[in-house]
Amino acid sequence: MSDDVPLPEYPRPQLRRDRWSVLNGWWDCAFTPAEQEPETWEHRILVPFSPETERSGVGRQLQPDETLWYRRRFAQGREDGRRTILHFGAVDQSCRVLVDGVQVAAHDGGYLPFAADITDALGARTEHELTVVVRDVSDTADHAVGKQRLQRGGIWYTAQSGIWQTVWTEQVPDLHVAAVRLRTPGVTTGAASAVIEVVVDPSADTAEPVSVQVRAGDLLVGSAEGPAGSTLRIPVSAPRLWTPEDPFLHDLEITLGADRVRSYVGVRSVDVGPDAHGMPRLRLNGDPYPHIGVLDQGYWGDTMYTAPDDEALVGDILAMKDLGFTMIRKHIKVEPLRWYHHCDRLGMLVWQDAVNGGTTYRPWVITTPVASAHLRLPDRWHGIFGRKDPAGRERFLRDLDAMVDLLRNAPSVVVWVPFNEGWGQFDAAAVAKRVRLRDPDRIIDHASGWHDQRAGGLRSLHVYFQPIRPARWWGRDGRALVVSEYGGYSLRLPGHRYPEREFGYRHMASREEFTAAYAELHRRQVLPAIGRGLSATVYTQLADVEDESNGLLTADRTERKPDPATVRALNAEFRRVFAAAVADRRNG
């Protein structure tokens, strides 16, 4: 990584081309009253770090009544038969994009990528000015805001704004691949063959055929050709299935006219089904498989939402694999596509949360279920959940659809989580059906925590203040039982920065005390619950974040709090107990 051009890696690993340029680096920057053009550009900002971060070089909060302006020069000429596409990984919250003063794009939504064909705006010139105009009202409106707050504290984090993922351009033929959709339905362990389904969406109506080749290493294992936009079914004999232990990826080469792109697919399936005793379990490739997870906010101290470099993304995944975890729950945030690529290639299951929104809701809606796990409020009462506005609900659904479309090709992503702890929740059962229609190949945790509406594939509990004791009737509706948050033990280590305020569910004084409490929690509560149906756990959390000192790692990722050998041994024991619980003992 260079300080002048941070995060220079190719941003979209599942649709790769050779001709592209990253526009990260130093840009001019200005803050003005809302919609007023700047008279001076008083700052330089290091894109893609938000202006609120230390790393950006600005360190200033964008206010709801202000506009944030970016500009930079870039070189790009026009070529016959080719188009130039300008990509933004994410800009929080709404923005307009101009090239040489001509608007080429407008986008609303701070967590999802967008792109614009800027070929016509380039004209005959080869030097151009790119301007991005940003507004972000943060948590003062009902759009997707996640855990950002203008007044941070507790579980809420410093609000961020502007460009926070990579900006880049690519050059493509006039007719090119616009999107690829991949499926590997019906895969089971030991299957003699599998089918890879590929749909290639072209950039325009065309009679030009598309061809796809599938390789396992250097070996060609399948190919197909057909009309663009149609489903190509490619049989693969003796498939090597994707698992966290063997995250094998089949390479794809896709050709449409003059356009050639590279991609990959992991051949695997996930679902909920009965074990040998009829208990519903999470399954991978048709076999019960334990999801031993950790909650991940995707937050770094000096760079907040944006990882300091690509190695930091890899480091978090490898650190959790080293401790024996098989899954990461990405909490209320959508990461850059490279993070999912690293989970794909390294072998880490992902539970993906949607980003919550809604207006301020009544505290009792959130706090009452903590005292009574059986309390279930109907989420058709939109007002008490902060979802009275139909336009806000529609905006959430649009963002949810876009997130599913963005990540549906990643084999690591196995569970969608539309709602968490009632935050902006509405019509969760209908939302689960909507997601199922859009993506029939993944599991849905429709309401993580509480306010369960008896939908989706999981009965999902957050357990911080009561023991983990599965009730005998759980599982009778065919849903697998999961504890999707628990733990949250806090420890402040010497030599690290912490705010005066501290948030956590149980406070420890030393590494030894932390490790002992962590071990006791798992031996007395988690491991005994597996035989009663527990299929997955999500420990809170991967790393410290601002007021939260409850990470397994410090915020800078330099130290582990519990003894690593103890955590590894407990996770290994989880797998042994799970394997014994799901086995058919009559044949054992």
Helix, strand or coil for residue 122? Answer: helix
- pLDDT per residue of the chain (588 residues) written in tens, 0 to 9: 456 899 999 999 999 999 999 999 999 999 999 989 999 999 999 999 999 999 999 999 999 999 999 999 999 999 899 999 999 999 999 999 999 999 999 999 999 999 999 999 999 899 999 999 999 999 888 899 999 999 888 888 999 999 999 999 999 999 999 999 999 998 999 888 999 999 999 999 999 999 999 999 999 999 999 999 999 999 999 999 999 999 999 999 999 999 999 999 999 999 999 999 999 999 999 999 999 999 999 999 899 999 999 999 999 999 999 999 999 999 999 999 999 999 999 999 999 999 999 987 778 888 777 766 667 789 999 999 999 999 999 999 999 999 999 999 999 999 999 999 999 999 999 999 999 999 999 999 999 998 999 999 999 999 998 889 887 777 789 999 999 999 999 999 998 988 877 788 889 999 999 999 999 999 999 999 999 999 999 999 999 999 999 999 999 999 999 999 999 999 999 999 999 999 976 544
Question: Domains along the chain?
Answer: 25-165 (2.60.120.260), 177-270 (2.60.40.10), 271-583 (3.20.20.80)
C-alpha to C-alpha distances, 209 to 176, 256, 288, 539, nearest whole angstrom: 12, 7, 40, 48
Take residue 557 and report the two structure tokens written for it: 């990722």
Contact 502, 155 (CB under 8 A): no
Closest CA to 418 of 461, 354, 482: 354
Take residue 33 and report the two structure tokens written for it: 């009253």
Which residue matches tokens 């619980």?
A: 581
d(C-alpha 408, C-alpha 402), whole Å: 10
Provide the whole-model pTM. Answer: 0.96
